[in-house]
Amino acid sequence: MKIVVQRVSSSQVKVNNKIVGQIEKGLNLLVCIEHDDTMQTLKKAADKIVALRIFSDESGRMNKSVVDIEGSILAVSQFTLSWNGKKGNRPSFDGSAKPEVAQNLFNEFVKLLNEKVPVETGIFGESMAVVINNDGPVTFHIEF
């Protein structure tokens, strides 16, 4: 599982020019489900994401989580993250889980996140336009 985590002041995802998910302050997640991901992987990732202390405290230090600031999460499926870019110039997405498996695991991941913080999503498998107002910018790439 690979996730790009971005601290945002706002974020939205559109399908066919219609907003299908939108948040204000919180996290934008680009989520890639890979072949060997399990429920244990999802749980580890969800626990880590909601606990990341990447929001500023009263002193301006990154010391608060999305839970602490009562923020939200916009999670967007992103199978293209499976390519590591080390070989060749034509991306291969062989590391990504098959769509039907990935969709079920993505939905389970969203449920786990939603136990701690409100979560919006795009529409799995659709062509999406994602607007990310990165705050900082603060961006992390995490693999589980």
Which residues have a catalytic role annotated?
Answer: 78-80
On whether the CB atoms of residues 49 and 2 are closer than 8 A, the answer is no
Alpha helices in the chain (DSSP H): 39-51, 99-114
Q: Which residue has the tokens 């529409």?
A: 123
Q: Which residue has the tokens 């997640």?
A: 29
| Backbone dihedral angles phi then psi of residue 76, each to the nearest 5 degrees | -125, 125
CA distance 3 to 20: 20
